[in-house]
């Protein structure tokens, strides 16, 4: 029996094109999620220069010092790379791009209780995919809502160009950039269950507020992808990978950089 690729419905594709994002359930099994749990629990007890550099709890004045985000775990961990190239996700990305997706980045956010959020921003300001755009696949490892700092999206802002960001409030955002939503456009919460994936366009304005809980993490595994026909991307994201793990090296776009530059000062709360 021939294997059929996963496809989105016409309504799902239309929602992504008009609103700029799409929530999909059922792309990760509980076994998959448990393996991701174990992998990043192990990483959380290490220091990996350039990728994950925590401060010991006794010395940390900010929860994000003990649990910073993990940058590009696919570059040092095979499990992270495998889930960045997770076939159900890649198949739906192929449907959204209408061509093969290329995996450019992986990240893992622990977002412990009390930690700051990430101010509203646009991903393609950093990735600089040209021509075309990036798409994020944001997977909730814990249930995510307004209380524990779940994702916020500004619908329809995928239709806007990327803009030069303002400076964020360092008391509320651990990254420096802030993009103000257009007039009459407001950020709305993307309430997600464990294992849900939110796909969103690289121009979509999105971010998160502080984790206001005392005992709930808001872990997320996040990857970014470019369209195969792109010729340039910021050098921070090279090389990219096809679904089978084959590396692809697009030309370096001189602009761009990591997804959000962190404030120099860690603010205690």
Largest pairwise CA distance in the chain: 58
pTM (two decimals):
0.93
**Residue 252 has what pLDDT?**
95
**Residue 8 has what pLDDT?**
97
57 falls within a domain:
no
Count of domains forming the chain: 1
**Residue 254 has what pLDDT?**
84
Domain encompassing residue 201: 10-43+63-251
23 forms bridges with which residues in the sheet?
Answer: 198
Q: How far is residue 66's CA from residue 197's CA, in Å, rounded to a whole number?
A: 26
**Residue 59 has what pLDDT?**
59
**Residue 62 has what pLDDT?**
87
Low-confidence ranges of the chain (pLDDT < 70): 1-3, 56-60, 256-269
**Residue 241 has what pLDDT?**
98
124 falls within a domain:
yes
N- to C-terminal Cα distance for the chain? 58
56 falls within a domain:
no
Annotate the chain with DSSP letters as a single string.
Answer: -PPPPP---HHHHHHHHHHSEEEE--SS-HHHHHHHHHHHHHHTTS-BTTTB-PPPGGG-SSHHHHSPPEE-GGGT-HHHHHHHT-HHHHHHHHHHHTS-EEEEEEEEE---TT--B--SB-THHHH--BSS-EEEEEEESS-B-TTTT-EEE-TTGGGSPP---EE--TTTBSBSEE-PPPTT---EE--B-TT-EEEEETT--EEE-----SS----EEEEEEEETT--EEEGGGPSEE-TTS-EE-PEEESS--SSSPBPSSPPP-
**Domain holding 112: CATH number?**
2.60.120.620
54 falls within a domain:
no
Residue 165 is encoded by which pair of tokens?
């960001």
**Residue 261 has what pLDDT?**
59
260 falls within a domain:
no
58 falls within a domain:
no
Number of H helices, E strands in the chain: 6, 15
1 falls within a domain:
no
51 falls within a domain:
no
């Amino acid at each position: 029996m021939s294997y059929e690729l996963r496809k989105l419905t016409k309504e799902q594709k239309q929602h992504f094109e008009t609103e700029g994002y799409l929530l999909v359930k059922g792309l990760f099994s509980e076994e998959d999620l448990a393996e991701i749990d174990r992998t990043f629990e192990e990483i959380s007890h290490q220091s990996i220069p350039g990728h994950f550099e925590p401060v010991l709890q006794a010395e940390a004045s900010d929860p994000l010092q003990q649990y910073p985000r993990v940058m590009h775990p696919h570059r040092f961990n095979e499990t992270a790379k495998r889930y960045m190239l997770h076939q159900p996700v890649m198949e739906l990305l192929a449907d959204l791009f209408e061509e093969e997706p290329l995996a450019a980045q992986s990240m893992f956010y622990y977002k412990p209780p009390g930690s700051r959020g990430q101010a509203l921003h646009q991903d393609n300001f950093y990735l600089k995919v040209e021509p075309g755009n990036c798409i994020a696949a944001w997977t909730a490892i814990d249930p995510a809502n307004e209380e524990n700092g779940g994702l916020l999206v500004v619908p329809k802002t995928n239709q806007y160009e990327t803009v030069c960001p303002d400076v964020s409030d360092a008391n509320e955002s651990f990254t420096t950039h802030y993009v103000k939503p257009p007039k009459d456009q407001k950020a709305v919460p993307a309430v997600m269950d464990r294992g849900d994936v939110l796909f969103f366009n690289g121009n979509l304005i999105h971010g998160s507020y502080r984790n206001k809980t005392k005992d709930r993490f808001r872990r997320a595994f996040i990857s970014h992808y470019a369209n195969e026909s792109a010729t340039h991307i910021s050098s921070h994201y090279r090389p990219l990978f096809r679904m089978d793990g084959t590396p692809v090296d697009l030309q370096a776009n001189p602009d761009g950089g990591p997804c959000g530059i962190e404030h120099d000062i860690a603010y205690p709360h």
